[in-house]
C-alpha cells in the first residue's frame, strides 16, 4: 500500500555527515581489530536495546498510573483540527473562549480581506481595460523565516489522476480560457474595474494584518504563491489581544500616564478599528463583488481556493463591520488560521469521581509540518483523525498534483500502521459533511476528480459510503492488533451535533483508559 514518509537511505558513513566521518573506522584496520570492533558494537547495541525496552516498560507503567489522558488531533491542513479543538474548549472551558473572543475580531477581518485579495488577484489576470489602480499582485520579495515546503512526492495515488487543474496552486494558474471566452460587456468591464480599484486598498491592509497575527512569521515566496495562509503558533492571541475594547476610553480618561502595554494596546486597537472602518466604507462594494454573476463564474471556473467560510463572512458583512462588532461563537468556529507546530490545551475532567487531566494536542497539518507530530506519538492515549471528505475536488496547497482525499488516505495509512500508535484508541472523523452535501447538490461530479468512482450515483449517501469504505479498508489492512475504529460523520462547525459526538468520544476513550489503568 502507500507510504507517507519516505525515509532517505543514507550511506552509513556519509561524506556529508561529520559525525559519521568521525566514527568511521581507520582504513588501516586489521581483520582482528575489525572483529573486535564489530563485537563491541553488537554488545553496545544489545545494551542500548535493553535500555530502550526498560524505558518503554517504565513509560507504559507510568501511563497506567497516570491521571492524564493525551489526545492528538491529526489530519491534513484544513481538515478541521483547530475547529474541533475550539469545540472542546466550548465544551470544557467556555470562559476561556470568552476571554479570547476579542482577539478573533482581527482573524475575522483577516479572513474577509484574504478572500477579497484572492478574487482581486484573479481579476488582475483579466484585461479589464484601463484601471489605473495599484496591482494586487505581490511585489516585494518575501523573507523566508520558515519554509513549509512540500515533502517529496508520494507513491501512486489510489484514486488515480484527476482532471486538469492548477499546477502551482495559484489562482491564476488554472485553465481559465472558458471564463475569458465569456465576452464581457463594456459596462460590466467598467463595473468590475471600478470595484477592483476601490477595493485595492484592502490588499495592503490584509498584509499588515497577516504580519500582526503571525507575529512577523512569514512563509517563503513559493509557499505564498501556492496560496499559503497565515501560520500562527500557540498563544498567537497575545499578538492581537486588546483585553476589552471599552476599557481604553476609561483608562485614558483624565490620566496623563499610560503604561507601555496600554500604548501598544491602543495602537493595536487603532489599527484594527482602521481596518474595521475601511471594511465598513467598502461594504457595499464588497457585497456587489460577492454577488456579481461574473465573479461567481470566475470562482467556479477557475476553482479559486477561497476559505471555507467565505460565504459566511461575506454574507455577514453588515454585522461584522458594525463598530460594536464582537465575534460570535459561530464566527470563531468559522475563522481560519493555520496552525504552526503543536498547540496544546488542557482540561480537567472528573471521571467516576476521579479528576483526570485531559490534554489535547492540535497539530499543524501541512506536509512540511508533519514531522513535528512524531514526538507526541510515544505517550498518546487516543487519536482523532480528521479527513475532510468534501475535498475530493481539491489539491494540496503544498503539492498541487496531490488530490486531498488521496493525501488523507495516505496519511491515515501512516497513522494506522505506525508501530508507536498500535495501541492507541483510534477515532475517525469524516468531516465537512455539510460542504460535501452542498457540492453534491450543486452538481459537482465525483467521477470527474476520482475516476475510480465510476458510474455510481452522484448522490450524498453513495459518495459518503464510497469514501468511508476506503478509509475502513485502510484500517482493516493495518490492524494486526484487532483495534476497534470508531467512525463519525461530522460537521465540526455545528456545535450541537459536535458536542454530542465529543461526549460519545470522551466516554469511549475514558472507558478504555480506565480499563487499562485498572481503575474500574
Ligand X SMILES: Nc1nc2c(ncn2[C@@H]2O[C@H](COP(=O)(O)OP(=O)(O)OP(=O)(O)O)[C@@H](O)[C@H]2O)c(=O)[nH]1
Q: How many CB atoms lie within 10 A of CB 414?
A: 20
Q: Which range, of 29-37, 151-159, 174-182, 486-494, touches ligand X by CB under 6 A?
A: 486-494
Q: Is 352 helix (H, G, I), strand (E, B) or coil?
A: coil
H helices, E strands: number in the chain: 21, 8
Q: Which of 82, 87, 309, 321 binds Mg ion (CB under 5 A)?
A: 82
Reference 82, options 261, 339, 270, 265; nearest CA is 339
Total binding residues toward Mg ion, as defined by CB under 5 A: 3
Residues 192 and 294: beta-carbon distance below 8 Å: yes
Q: Is 146 annotated as a binding residue?
A: no
Which of the listed partners (Mg ion, ligand X, none) does 307 bind, with a CB threshold of 5 to 8 Å by partner kind? ligand X
Question: Which residues are CB-neighbours of 62 under 8 A, at least 6 positions away?
Answer: none
Q: Which of 103, 316, 335, 339 binds Mg ion (CB under 5 A)?
A: 339
Q: Which of 70, 105, 118, 334 binds ligand X (CB under 6 A)?
A: 334
For residues 368 and 123, what is the distance between their CA atoms, to the nearest angstrom?
30
Pairing mode, strands 382-388 and 68-74? parallel
| Angle at CA of residue 450, ends 449 and 451, nearest 5° | 105
Q: Which range, of 4-12, 90-98, 307-315, 457-465, touches ligand X by CB under 6 A?
A: 307-315
Residues 207 and 214: beta-carbon distance below 8 Å: no
Q: Is 27 annotated as a binding residue?
A: no
Q: For residue 406, state whether it binds ligand X (rule: CB under 6 A).
A: no
Q: For residue 239, state whether it binds Mg ion (rule: CB under 5 A).
A: no
Q: What are phi and psi of 156, to 5 degrees?
A: -60, 150
The footprint of ligand X on residues 492-511 (CB under 6 A) is: 492-493
Q: How many CB atoms lie within 10 A of CB 6?
A: 11
Q: Is 434 annotated as a binding residue?
A: yes
Q: For residue 115, state whether it binds Mg ion (rule: CB under 5 A).
A: no
Q: For residue 394, state whether it binds Mg ion (rule: CB under 5 A).
A: no
Q: For residue 434, state whether it binds ligand X (rule: CB under 6 A).
A: yes
Residues 405 and 376: beta-carbon distance below 8 Å: no
Residues 390 and 384: beta-carbon distance below 8 Å: no
Question: Which residues are CB-neighbours of 231 under 8 A, at least 6 positions away?
Answer: 146, 148, 214, 217, 219, 337, 338, 339, 340, 364
Which of the listed partners (Mg ion, ligand X, none) does 115 bind, with a CB threshold of 5 to 8 Å by partner kind? none
Q: Which of 136, 170, 381, 491 binds ligand X (CB under 6 A)?
A: 491
Q: Which range, of 195-203, 321-329, 431-439, 464-472, touches ligand X by CB under 6 A?
A: 431-439
Q: Is 334 annotated as a binding residue?
A: yes
Q: For residue 338, state whether it binds ligand X (rule: CB under 6 A).
A: yes
Contacts with ligand X, 26-65, as mask; x by CB under 6 A: ----------------------------------------
Cell of 6: 519516505
Q: Which range, of 248-256, 333-341, 416-424, 494-502, touches Mg ion by CB under 5 A?
A: 333-341
Q: Which residues bind ligand X (CB under 6 A)?
A: 75, 77-83, 307-309, 333-334, 336, 338-339, 364-366, 431-432, 434-435, 491-493
Residues at the binding site are 333-339, 431-434
Residues at the binding site for GTP are 333-339, 431-434
Residues at the binding site for Mg(2+) are 339
Amino acid at each position: 500500500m502507500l507510504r507517507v514518509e519516505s525515509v532517505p537511505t543514507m550511506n552509513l558513513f556519509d561524506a556529508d555527515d561529520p559525525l559519521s566521518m568521525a566514527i568511521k573506522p581507520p582504513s588501516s584496520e586489521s581483520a582482528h581489530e575489525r572483529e573486535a570492533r564489530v563485537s563491541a558494537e553488537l554488545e553496545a547495541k544489545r545494551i542500548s536495546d535493553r535500555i530502550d525496552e526498560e524505558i518503554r516498560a517504565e513509560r507504559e507503567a507510568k501511563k497506567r498510573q497516570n491521571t492524564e489522558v493525551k489526545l492528538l488531533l491529526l489530519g491534513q491542513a484544513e481538515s478541521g483540527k483547530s475547529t474541533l479543538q475550539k469545540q472542546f474548549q466550548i465544551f470544557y472551558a467556555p470562559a476561556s473562549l470568552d476571554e479570547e473572543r476579542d482577539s478573533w475580531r482581527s482573524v475575522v477581518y483577516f479572513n474577509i480581506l484574504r478572500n477579497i485579495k484572492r478574487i482581486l488577484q484573479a481579476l488582475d489576470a483579466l484585461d479589464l481595460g484601463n484601471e489605473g489602480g495599484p496591482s494586487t499582485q505581490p511585489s516585494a520579495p518575501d523573507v523566508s523565516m520558515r519554509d513549509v515546503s512540500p515533502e517529496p512526492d508520494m507513491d501512486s495515488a489510489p484514486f488515480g489522476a484527476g482532471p486538469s487543474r492548477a499546477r502551482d496552486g495559484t489562482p491564476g494558474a488554472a485553465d481559465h480560457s472558458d471564463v475569458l471566452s465569456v465576452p464581457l460587456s463594456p459596462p460590466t468591464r467598467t463595473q468590475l474595474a471600478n470595484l477592483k480599484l476601490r477595493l485595492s486598498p484592502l490588499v495592503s491592509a490584509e498584509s499588515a494584518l497577516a504580519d500582526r497575527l503571525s507575529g512577523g512569521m512569514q512563509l517563503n515566496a513559493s509557499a505564498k504563491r501556492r496560496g499559503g495562509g497565515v501560520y500562527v503558533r500557540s498563544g498567537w492571541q497575545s499578538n492581537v489581544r486588546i483585553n476589552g475594547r471599552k476599557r481604553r476610553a476609561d483608562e485614558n480618561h483624565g490620566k496623563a500616564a499610560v503604561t507601555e502595554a496600554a500604548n501598544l494596546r491602543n495602537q493595536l486597537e487603532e489599527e484594527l478599528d482602521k481596518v474595521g472602518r475601511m471594511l465598513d466604507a467598502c461594504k457595499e462594494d464588497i457585497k456587489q463583488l460577492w454577488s456579481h454573476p461574473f465573479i461567481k463564474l470566475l470562482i467556479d471556473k477557475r476553482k479559486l481556493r477561497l476559505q471555507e467560510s467565505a460565504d459566511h463572512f461575506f454574507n455577514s458583512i453588515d454585522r461584522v463591520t458594525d463598530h460594536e462588532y464582537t465575534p460570535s461563537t459561530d464566527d470563531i468556529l468559522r475563522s481560519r488560521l493555520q496552525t504552526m507546530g503543536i498547540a496544546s490545551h488542557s482540561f480537567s475532567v472528573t471521571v467516576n469521581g476521579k479528576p483526570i487531566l485531559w490534554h489535547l494536542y492540535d497539530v499543524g497539518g501541512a506536509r512540511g509540518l508533519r514531522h513535528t507530530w512524531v514526538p507526541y506519538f510515544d505517550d498518546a492515549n487516543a487519536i482523532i483523525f480528521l479527513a475532510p471528505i468534501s475535498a475530493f475536488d481539491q489539491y494540496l496547497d503544498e503539492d498541487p498534483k496531490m488530490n486531498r482525499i488521496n493525501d488523507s488516505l495516505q496519511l491515515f495509512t501512516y497513522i494506522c500502521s505506525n508501530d508507536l500508535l498500535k495501541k492507541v484508541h483510534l477515532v475517525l472523523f469524516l468531516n465537512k459533511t455539510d460542504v460535501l452535501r452542498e457540492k453534491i447538490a450543486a452538481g459537482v461530479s465525483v467521477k470527474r476528480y476520482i475516476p475510480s468512482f465510476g458510474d455510481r450515483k452522484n448522490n450524498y449517501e453513495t459518495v459518503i459510503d464510497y469514501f468511508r469504505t476506503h478509509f475502513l479498508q485502510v484500517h482493516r489492512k493495518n490492524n494486526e492488533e484487532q483495534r476497534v475504529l470508531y467512525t463519525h460523520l461530522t460537521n465540526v462547525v455545528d456545535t450541537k451535533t459536535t458536542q454530542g459526538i465529543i461526549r460519545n468520544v470522551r466516554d469511549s476513550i475514558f472507558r478504555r483508559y480506565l480499563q487499562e489503568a485498572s481503575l474500574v
